[in-house]
Amino acid sequence: MDKIATITFHRAHNFGSVLQTYALQEYICKMYKECNKEIQYQVIDFCSNEQKDLYSVFKPNVSWKNVIKNIITIPYAKKLQIKHRKFETFIEEEFNLTKKYCEERELLENPPVADYYISGSDQLWNVRTLDFSDVYYLNFVKSGKKLSYAASFGPLKIDWQHYDKEKYSHLLNDYDAISVRELGSKRNVEYLTGKQCQVNIDPTLLLSCNEWRKIQSNADYNNGQYILLYCLEPTKKQLEIANAISGKLKLPIVILRYNNKNDMINQYVKKYESGPKDFLAYIDHAALVLSSSFHGTAYSLIYHKSFYVFDGMKDNRISEILRKTEMTERSIDSIKDIERVTLKPVDREKIDIVLAEERKRSKLYFQKVLQLKK
């Protein structure tokens, strides 16, 4: 029986983070089942105090900025606490977790035993994130093979001279196989190691819409006659474009998260109590999805939704998947672009052909690195 331990941002209360964790777990376990081979798959339950604080409903009162954030949060506290519980329930019920680790030291001293260690997907190699740790580069592994799947360095260029290039070069050179999520991440690996690596799709794209529908909730609004606006940090310009599109199509806007001052005063339908399963349902039922998020884009493709992405061609993660599926016209940059925004359906067949080919490439990668044969 193979023992696999994956590390990723599984406890981040971010829809994409928890769902990509679930997808990778389900996909690898499904592959082993197809090969009639036993597996013990675990998600390494590492969650730093920084990450806990980042996703807590009320922030620690260590600065005036946090105090102001907490005051602004009060009207939405009940809904946000419901959301928090939904995320925690999803994590505890859907993931095969190891014991909890709160500090890097604990993992270094007593790591879980496995045959294969995987740096999962998401921006876990982005040294800029507030909850970053060297553990995502598998610095704690004493024996067993080190792998990655669709790991990402994030959307922006990293100046490695400011982030200890030698250390991360050494850590990456210790991997037995490296897979990243986009070309920008591939260039980082090549720069740090001098080696080629494979580019694979995000784990969320490995599962079909029917597989996702098995776990989604029945959340809906206005019988699907709404625009889902999903942005991690919407700008004033993006909100202006969204409002104009809402007026043009005569559809209300539904939002699922609050963390931006630009989002305080609006007429949006606020579904802040939504958890991961609700997110899937709101994508599935929407008449239109507007997003600046990679996973907002990914799920729009999975569910074959009519969608548009703010500044999509300026983000190396999103632009790549838009090019592959020939959906670059779905990127909108200015208020002028609303002229071409419609509810016209996407080309399902084209999307499915691309995803089928990409899933095949990922399957071949796993078969090789995990030594799986039918």
Mean pLDDT of 92-106: 97
Q: What is the per-residue pLDDT across 225-241, written as a single tens digit (0 to 9) for each?
A: 999 999 988 888 999 99
Higher local confidence (pLDDT), 262 or 314: 314
Domain annotation covers residue 349: no
Same domain, 102 and 55: yes
- The answer to whether position 188 is within a domain reads yes
The three-state secondary structure class of 126 is coil
Q: What is the mean pLDDT of residues 60-88?
A: 86
DSSP per-residue letters across 217-270: ----SGGG-SEEEE-SS--HHHHHHHHHHHHHHT--EEE-----GGGSSS--EE
* Domain assignment of residue 327, given as a range: 209-343
Does pLDDT of 203 surpass 70? yes
Residues 200 and 234 in one domain: no
Mean pLDDT of 70-88: 90
Which pLDDT does position 60 carry in this prediction? Answer: 79
Range 119-127 average pLDDT: 94
> Where does the pLDDT of residue 96 fall: very low under 50, low under 70, confident under 90, or very high at 90 and above?
very high
- Mean pLDDT calculated for residue range 46-63: 83
Q: How much is the pLDDT for 260?
A: 60
Q: For 50, how many CA atoms within 13 A lie in the half-sphere containing its CB?
A: 8
348 belongs to a structural domain: no
- Indicate the pTM of the whole model: 0.95
Q: What is the four-CA torsion angle of 290, 296, 302, 307, rounded to 10 degrees?
A: 10
- 234 vs 177, residue with greater confidence: 177
Shared domain for 39 and 139, answered yes or no, is yes
Over 90: is that where the pLDDT of 28 sits?
yes
The Cα 334–Cα 126 span in angstroms is 29
Residue 260 belongs to a domain? yes
pLDDT band at 39 (very low <50, low <70, confident <90, very high): very high
Write the CATH number for 332.
3.40.50.2000
* Number of domains comprising the chain: 2
232/157 same-domain check: no
More confident residue, 202 or 317: 202
Give a yes or no: residue 374 inside a domain: no
Q: 193 with 219, same domain?
A: no
